[in-house]
Structure 1
Amino acid sequence: MKAPLSWIKEYVEVPADVTTEELTERLTMTGLKLEAIHSPGAEITGPLVVARVLTMEPEPQKNGKTINWCTVDVGDANGTGEPQGIVCGAHNFAPGDLVAVVLPGGVLPGGFAISARKTYGHVSAGMICSAAELGLGEDHDGIIVLPPDAGEPGQDVRPLLGLDEEVIELEVNPDRAYGLSLRGIARDVEVSVAGASGFRDPALRDVPPADDAGWPVVVDDPTGCPVFVARTVSGFDPTAPTPDFIARRITAAGMRPISLAVDITNYVMLETGRPIHGYDADKVQGALRIRRATEGETLTTLDGTRRTLSAEDLVVTDDSGIIGLGGVMGGATTEMSESTTRVLVEAAHWDAVSMFRTGKRHKISSEAGKRNERGVDPTICEAAADRVVELLTTYGGGTADPGHTVVGTPPAIEPVAMAASLPARISGVDIDPEQVVADLEAVGCTVVREGDSLAATPPPWRPDLVDPYDLVEEVVRLRGYDQIPSVLPKAPGGRGLTRPQALRRRVGRTLAGAGWVEVVDFPFVGDADLDALGLDADDPRRSVLRLSNPLSAEAPAMTTTLLPGLLRTAARNVGHGSGSVAIFETASVVLPRDAGPAPILPVDRRPTDAELAELTAALPDQPLHLGLVATGEAAPSGWWGPGRPVDWTDAVGGVRAVADALGLELGTRADALAPWHPGRCAALLLGDVVVGHAGELHPRVCAAFGLPARSVAAEVDLEVLLEHAVHLRPAPSFSTYPVAKEDVALVVPETVPAADVEAALRDGAGPLLESLRLFDVYAGAQVGAGHRSLAFALRFRAPDRTLTEDEIAAARDAAVAAAEERTGAVQRA
């Protein structure tokens, strides 16, 4: 909302020592936020004066254009008192007229410097100005012709044109529609700016009583249109010009002058906040009727658009049909024009929700709709209509018809109960009850107090005040938001991290310490991603939760696996020149379940436990997963020797490191599952439960995602690992006695997993076994076809003594015997 400061001061007295900056700062602190301060003449420098046209000689040019060679009297402003010669291309003025002239040395908006220059065979010493050239409007072709009594030649023209005016632009929140009027802004100035007083309400006026002689009006939907006022002006002169002060003010407010009748309705709307609509009364046929449209009815609105209406739209009709979209935009058939001599003035109050929905439905954004959809004072319809009639008769030469139609009454306003101590409790500012009452009355409330209880009836221009906390806001904003102390809440006693938080951090630290980098990917996939993973048609990971409004049509579903996002991220890094990549992610996946649609819970109360349980049951499972992807070198090459490429053991090792950090031990067994390479995929087991898979990716998967061959990946159900994790791990115990080292080599069939042999050795060795490590695998002629040799390093130690040779031998032999019995292993000599 743009508001000229002089217009505001017509309705409220502001102390002379209060600057515009101070006034707008206070308005900002009370809720009407300053956007900018405009000064139309700020860019204009140099002599800009009143001038009288002395002569005007038309001179046709070869290009078909006719220019006027003019002499103008600029008084002593040119330093000589002699007439000034100026070339002008406009033709809407005549000798004797007073015009605005900028003399050489002046600068107009946009940095346009004026100098004496030769043009069209004359030396033009200045410029006769149009509104556009002075930044006052869009009219480039017409010269500004001043009133005959505007002033003497040579007088500064800035005050006459409002170029010395300051215009404040305010951001008005949707719940403060009163701020879209000079009436509302002036009222806020009075209650918020120190020293401001004497608010004069432009809507407070004596209006003639309603009678039956006015234009007939029938309201079929009093809920949608509680109040409808109609007045008529006859004998209006459609050629009458808009007074300069009205044109300047509506221009400064950001609107374009059109014609006297239209400009007056806009002027009163800006002044009071009440939208007004004018009809050409001679084009209206019969009584006005306000009703809801019939589905499919049509109307051509003032913007020339033919609109198909909804049954929810409020419309104004006459005997010919629909003539207006109530409260939003009038119809073309009854539009005022240059031939209008009878004006039918409508000032009606409309239901705000209907206005909002109609505007959105038809994509209409109008100044009237902007106010009606936010809520306007329903009690000033008669005053606003009377003000329009007054201006039409004063400046348009018309006569007010005696009839005055008023249909309906403003909706009743319910009082709001509040404790007088509530503003102090909410804001933390010491505000006594008397001050609370005074502040509420200052914004227009009628307050009844009994002890600590208040009953405040909001003013009709504040439909946003509906509960006690709205009243608290009014009190606090008048005190000033800047007066509310900034108090940090006291932190409760430290309780540390929760168990899941501590364990998740342990997982992240473990992987980061091992050289893996954490990433965060979007949790969305499409069928193309699942195809690229090589998943079978019946793979449960293809059962996805599809989104009704996805960010991308290519990824319209929530992911059931972390691998697509990790593989894309790894490929992106490889594509940007990273030779080696090792990344991990911990995130939830979404596993749908057939539990039916989720219920829509009420918002006017807390849901019951049963309703919440029903909602929870409809939600998909969202377990926490851990995913890892690596490619390139696991150990870089250098002067120290060749590097080691990433292989499947790195994927398994990464997950095992996490399990070890959680106090768990994972087993492995060979498996076959997409997207891993058959024969190079390991199932990861916690006890007998498969919690994930790791291994080398299938070559087709690497090619599909743009990764180098033999890249590796792993994915496990981290939620299961965290559930079984050891939260507080006991400190390890160390033995000060020497370790005993024993190596054994066992020959087993190739089909026997090394993990099974390792488990048998560990079980057979007993409690003296400190560590067990596979350090060599051999397959060749010495062990026979279809077999391989597995060499293990066993380390034995006792916590309380040095082991004897017999104890060491017994433990070793027991381990070998267990492996022979469970896996068919044979010890190599």
Structure 2
Amino acid sequence: MKVSLNWVKDYVKLPDDMDLKRLSYDLTMSTVEVEDATDLSESFRNMVIGVVQQVQQHPNADKLRVCKTDIGGEIKDIVCGGINLRDGMKVAVALPGAHCRWHGEGEPVEIKVSKLRGVESYGMICASSEIGLFDLFPFTEEATILDLSDFDAPAGTPLADALDLHDIILEIDNKSMTNRPDLWGHYGIAREIAALYDLPMNPLPPFDRTVKNTAGLTITVEDSDRCPRMTGTQIEGLSVKPAPYWMRSRIWKVGMRPINALVDITNYVMLATGQPSHAYDSDHIAGHIIVRRAGEGEKLQLLNGKDLPLSTDDLVIADDAGVVGLAGVMGGAKDSILPTTNKVILEIANFQAAGIRRTALRYDNRTEASARYEKAVDPERCDQALDLSMALFAELYPEMKVTGFVDCYPHKLQQAEIDVSLNWLERRLGKRIPNEDIAKKLGELGYSLTFDGDNLHIVVPTWRSTGDVSIKADIMEEVARMYGYENFRAAPITTSFDGAINQLDKDLERRIKEYLAIRYGMQEIFTYPWMTDQYVNAILQDTTGILSLSTPPSPDESLIRSSLLPNLCKSVVKNERFFTEFSIFECAQVFRDADYTTPYDSREKLPSQRKNIAGAFAGDSKNVTDLFRRAKGVIESMPRYTHMEGFTFRQEEKPLWADDVVWLNICLGDKRIGNLALLNKKASMACGIKNLSVLLFELDADALVPFRSRTNTFTHLAEYPMTDYDISLLFDAQTKWADMQKILSGIHNELFHGASFVDEYHGKQIPEGKKSVTIRLTIGSAEKTLTSAEIEACAASAVKKLVKNLGAELRAK
């Protein structure tokens, strides 16, 4: 937001020797972040008022003229192409050394004495766009040169003096005052400066509200929650004309464009007080004004003639004929000011912040008014805006008459009241601040204070009672910032640390991430906590129990993630454009509308928030087997490398998104904690995955059980060679490797040191319903080198176990 220091001086008398750097520093340290402070006149250095004495045709150019121009005691030739130049005209002259934009485009360039088509030109006669004044002095194709003949300034007067451009513009970071709706106007900033430097504030002129409503103006507010207050004032004896220069100049200085006197008054009041207002042409209002919700299928006619479909959640301003405008956001064709407007209804209203925010977001139309309403402007601000508005109407239209006034304010704003212990305040601040200093500073900010022993009772002003100041910590902040943070000495933290806490779950999460990223080269991703409907429908299919956002970032992203898989698949789609093989994982919270918890207060229920770990392995569709083995190996080895209880794999309940064959449930004991499966074709197509096969897994990380300690034992390296003995056996096609591994692990033979899976084969040589599995047996002795007979005997005992328990058969060579 831009703030004009000259405008602030209307409300608080600043010292003439005010140090600009000190002011910016003090405001930043106490109230808002001042990003920059600019002397507006610096942009107009070496620019003066010139009076054109004579306009002559350029001897070598049909479209150029040579102007003999008085720049203050000197007559200089200046070559110019302006078509509206005339003798005696006052113009803006950029002397050598000034900086201008040629034809209002590009970066500023320095003006020098130069020859144009053989004629020397001393500077440049400027159009408003060339010196940054187009919004203040718009021109047409028929009159491009800035005409300043109406200004009482002799030739040679510095342009900044003639146009009253000696002003300091403060650039304030909007984010630093998001929770300070009282600061979104010059009067609020002036109040803070007055409190900082103990200066008196100038009150706004009052308006006599005892007006006879001869116009019969009526206002009905049907939704007082969304519209706590609405005032309407009918004013006659008006006309559409330009606002005086001082008003247009102030509006332009802070970044808005002047339009006409009627509209400029409303904008000026908003920039001054922070309270938006709006003027309707009375002739366009049929009957009386109604503030209500939009009806089903109702539309708002815009200025361009198009109709905007409305939501039933929208608050609208309407009359007997229909919708006139979207409350606090945008107007329609019916409420516009026309060249023939001679009487208006001035609306000054207060709207609920959340409703305005939803409407502005819904139509992607954030205006200066909606930006202020979104911050929760207090209803009492309507009085300030009304007082200033009527003073301005009276000044600009001396013949005007107020023929109607209505103020709908059914429920007056309740000012917040807070009790603070002075001892508590001293402990928190680390310093005892005298009561008179607290009373003085807070009083200047509008607070009412009562001291009763150790207790300080505070009544918060209306402009801070909309949620900004509500607890005693807020009062502590107010005292500290106004007293000055630099006046407090640094003190050590008074808490004590009893000892380190071993958070096994956090350590395990870290080890899992390192395991996936470092050992297996997977890339960690981070996604938003909401899901896109396309991927929800493809993966989860059933949305029962999934939480939704009241104000989603987009219409198709309203659901909060209950699983990490939809966002993983979205990431797979994005990466498929660039890679044919990759693997990604994410560790994040998921939310479900079930198993409510009350971690802080029994009255506050929160949905379940579990932490999940999920990953995706994407690769060539022709190598699904290799992809599955890699994914299963990653999950199967995870407990060993991350030091937690091991998993088992079973087929109990197939996920909706899984392939009919390639799927496993991941179990921890008897509890199912996740799934590992190939994404089926239907889900892949629905996600938009075109050319890759994708293996997905998801684990409930909160269900994982880390080991409390690590027990390391020393095993001596074998002194005699171990032998790898491969055997190929026929098994039923349904027999799993886990079953084989279980049988082999039960062999009690000092020569047998384990078995591992090598390969599985299906082909013409293999009988129907069978499969060939190659198993590698590790056989050896700690005392000697085994003979062939001893190795064969050990292998035979392993085969015998498999034949007996699983019906295995030796495969014929």
TM-score, normalised with respect to structure 2: 0.69
Question: Is the Cα–Cα contact under 8 Å of residues 229 and 382 in structure 1 kept in the other structure?
Answer: no
Question: Is the Cα–Cα contact under 8 Å of residues 181 and 272 in structure 1 kept in the other structure?
Answer: yes
CA separation in 1, counterparts of 2:208 and 2:677?
Answer: 91
Alpha-carbon offset, residue 401 of structure 1: 3.2
Counterpart selection for 2:478 from 461, 464, 474: 474
CA separation in 2, counterparts of 1:213 and 1:528?
Answer: 60
Residue number in structure 2 paired with 1:52? 51
Counterpart selection for 1:131 from 128, 132, 138: 128
Question: Is the Cα–Cα contact under 8 Å of residues 589 and 611 in structure 2 kept in the other structure?
Answer: yes
Classify the secondary structure of the residue corresponding to 2:231: strand
Residue number in structure 2 paired with 1:273? 274
Deviations 1:643-685 (A, max 9, x none): xx989998887666556565989999999x999999x999999
**More deviation in 688-697 or 133-142?**
688-697
Deviations 1:431-477 (A, max 9, x none): 56554443322211222232343333332333434512444443343
Deviations 1:28-62 (A, max 9, x none): 2333222443444434443x223334345799999
Question: Is the Cα–Cα contact under 8 Å of residues 614 and 696 in structure 2 kept in the other structure?
Answer: no
Classify the secondary structure of the residue corresponding to 2:463: coil
Residue number in structure 2 paired with 1:494? 500
CA separation in 1, counterparts of 2:731 and 2:43?
Answer: 91
Classify the secondary structure of the residue corresponding to 1:495: coil
Residue number in structure 2 paired with 1:37? 37
Structure 1: runs of 5+ lacking an equivalent: 532-540, 632-644, 780-784, 799-807
Q: Which amino acid aligns with 2:348?
A: A
Question: Is the Cα–Cα contact under 8 Å of residues 185 and 274 in structure 2 kept in the other structure?
Answer: yes
Classify the secondary structure of the residue corresponding to 2:128: coil
* CA distance 1:457–1:520, shift in 2 (3 Å): same
Question: Is the Cα–Cα contact under 8 Å of residues 234 and 405 in structure 2 kept in the other structure?
Answer: yes
Residue number in structure 1 paired with 2:84? 91
Classify the secondary structure of the residue corresponding to 2:462: coil
Question: Is the Cα–Cα contact under 8 Å of residues 279 and 335 in structure 1 kept in the other structure?
Answer: yes
Alpha-carbon offset, residue 5 of structure 1: 1.7
Residue number in structure 2 paired with 1:228? 231
* CA distance 1:346–1:471, shift in 2 (3 Å): farther
Residue number in structure 2 paired with 1:407? 407
Q: Which amino acid aligns with 1:103?
A: L
Residue number in structure 1 paired with 2:8? 8
Residue 180 (structure 2) pairs with residue 184 (structure 1): no
The number of aligned residues is 753
CA separation in 1, counterparts of 2:629 and 2:72?
Answer: 98
Residue number in structure 2 paired with 1:175? 179
Q: Which amino acid aligns with 1:160?
A: A
Residue number in structure 2 paired with 1:101? 93
Q: Which amino acid aligns with 1:133?
A: E
CA separation in 1, counterparts of 2:450 and 2:699?
Answer: 64
Question: Is the Cα–Cα contact under 8 Å of residues 186 and 271 in structure 2 kept in the other structure?
Answer: yes
Counterpart selection for 2:753 from 764, 767, 771: 771
* CA distance 1:271–1:508, shift in 2 (3 Å): closer
Question: Is the Cα–Cα contact under 8 Å of residues 100 and 108 in structure 2 kept in the other structure?
Answer: yes
Classify the secondary structure of the residue corresponding to 1:348: strand
Superposed counterparts of 1:17-416, under 5 Å: 17-46=17-46, 48-55=47-54, 70-76=67-73, 78=74, 82=75, 84=77, 87=80, 89-91=82-84, 95=88, 97-109=89-101, 110-115=107-112, 124-138=121-135, 139-140=138-139, 141=143, 143-147=146-150, 150-172=152-174, 173-192=177-196, 196-203=197-204, 205-208=205-208, 210-212=210-212, 215-221=215-221, 223=224, 224=227, 226=229, 228=231, 230=233, 232=235, 234=237, 238=240, 242-278=243-279, 283=283, 289-292=289-292, 295=295, 300=301, 313-315=315-317, 317=319, 332=333, 335-340=336-341, 342-344=342-344, 346=346, 348-353=348-353, 365-376=366-377, 378-379=379-380, 381=382, 384-385=385-386, 387-396=388-397, 398-401=398-401, 405=405, 407-408=407-408, 411-416=412-417
Question: Is the Cα–Cα contact under 8 Å of residues 100 and 128 in structure 1 kept in the other structure?
Answer: yes
* CA distance 1:347–1:479, shift in 2 (3 Å): farther
**More deviation in 157-166 or 84-93?**
84-93
CA separation in 2, counterparts of 1:403 and 1:107?
Answer: 51
Residue number in structure 2 paired with 1:732? 713
Classify the secondary structure of the residue corresponding to 2:7: helix
Question: Is the Cα–Cα contact under 8 Å of residues 626 and 717 in structure 1 kept in the other structure?
Answer: no
Question: Is the Cα–Cα contact under 8 Å of residues 446 and 457 in structure 1 kept in the other structure?
Answer: yes
Alpha-carbon offset, residue 190 of structure 1: 1.6
Q: Percent identity?
A: 22
Alpha-carbon offset, residue 177 of structure 1: 2.7
Structure 2: runs of 5+ lacking an equivalent: 102-106, 762-766, 784-790
**More deviation in 288-297 or 743-752?**
743-752
Alpha-carbon offset, residue 387 of structure 1: 4.2
* CA distance 1:244–1:677, shift in 2 (3 Å): closer
CA separation in 1, counterparts of 2:455 and 2:168?
Answer: 44
CA separation in 2, counterparts of 1:571 and 1:412?
Answer: 51
Q: Which amino acid aligns with 2:10?
A: E
Residue number in structure 2 paired with 1:801? none
* CA distance 1:670–1:793, shift in 2 (3 Å): farther
Deviations 1:198-230 (A, max 9, x none): 343352x24445132654332322833635252
Question: Is the Cα–Cα contact under 8 Å of residues 49 and 93 in structure 2 kept in the other structure?
Answer: yes
CA separation in 2, counterparts of 1:57 and 1:274?
Answer: 52
Deviations 1:163-217 (A, max 9, x none): 442211223434323322221111111223xxx34343352x2444513265433
Deviations 1:388-434 (A, max 9, x none): 454445455x3243767353568243341231445556666655655
* CA distance 1:567–1:166, shift in 2 (3 Å): closer
Deviations 1:752-800 (A, max 9, x none): 999888876765646x6683568999x9xxxxx99999895555679xx
Alpha-carbon offset, residue 272 of structure 1: 3.2
CA separation in 1, counterparts of 2:401 and 2:665?
Answer: 93
Alpha-carbon offset, residue 74 of structure 1: 2.4
Alpha-carbon offset, residue 4 of structure 1: 1.9
CA separation in 1, counterparts of 2:180 and 2:244?
Answer: 30
Rg: which structure is higher? 1
CA separation in 2, counterparts of 1:202 and 1:400?
Answer: 24
CA separation in 2, counterparts of 1:162 and 1:255?
Answer: 17
CA separation in 2, counterparts of 1:146 and 1:297?
Answer: 51
Superposed counterparts of 1:404-803, under 5 Å: 405=405, 407-408=407-408, 411-421=412-422, 431=433, 434-464=436-466, 465=468, 467-468=470-471, 469-480=473-484, 493-498=499-504, 500-501=505-506, 516-520=520-524, 598=594, 606=601, 616=608, 658=638, 723=705, 727-732=708-713, 763=746, 765=748, 771-772=753-754, 794=779
Classify the secondary structure of the residue corresponding to 2:42: coil
Deviations 1:623-656 (A, max 9, x none): 767888999xxxxxxxxxxxxx989998887666
Question: Is the Cα–Cα contact under 8 Å of residues 777 and 795 in structure 2 kept in the other structure?
Answer: no
* CA distance 1:427–1:816, shift in 2 (3 Å): same
Alpha-carbon offset, residue 252 of structure 1: 0.5
**More deviation in 264-273 or 441-450?**
264-273
Classify the secondary structure of the residue corresponding to 2:252: helix
Question: Is the Cα–Cα contact under 8 Å of residues 230 and 408 in structure 2 kept in the other structure?
Answer: yes
Alpha-carbon offset, residue 6 of structure 1: 1.9
Question: Is the Cα–Cα contact under 8 Å of residues 214 and 230 in structure 1 kept in the other structure?
Answer: no
Question: Is the Cα–Cα contact under 8 Å of residues 545 and 591 in structure 1 kept in the other structure?
Answer: no
Alpha-carbon offset, residue 826 of structure 1: 12
**More deviation in 430-439 or 177-186?**
430-439
Question: Is the Cα–Cα contact under 8 Å of residues 52 and 73 in structure 1 kept in the other structure?
Answer: yes
Question: Is the Cα–Cα contact under 8 Å of residues 631 and 695 in structure 2 kept in the other structure?
Answer: yes
Note the aligned Cα RMSD (angstroms). 6.5
Deviations 1:318-368 (A, max 9, x none): 8x877666655666557555555x444625333344655665566654444
CA separation in 1, counterparts of 2:115 and 2:21?
Answer: 44
* CA distance 1:480–1:277, shift in 2 (3 Å): same
CA separation in 1, counterparts of 2:319 and 2:567?
Answer: 61
Residue number in structure 1 paired with 2:786? none
* CA distance 1:591–1:794, shift in 2 (3 Å): farther
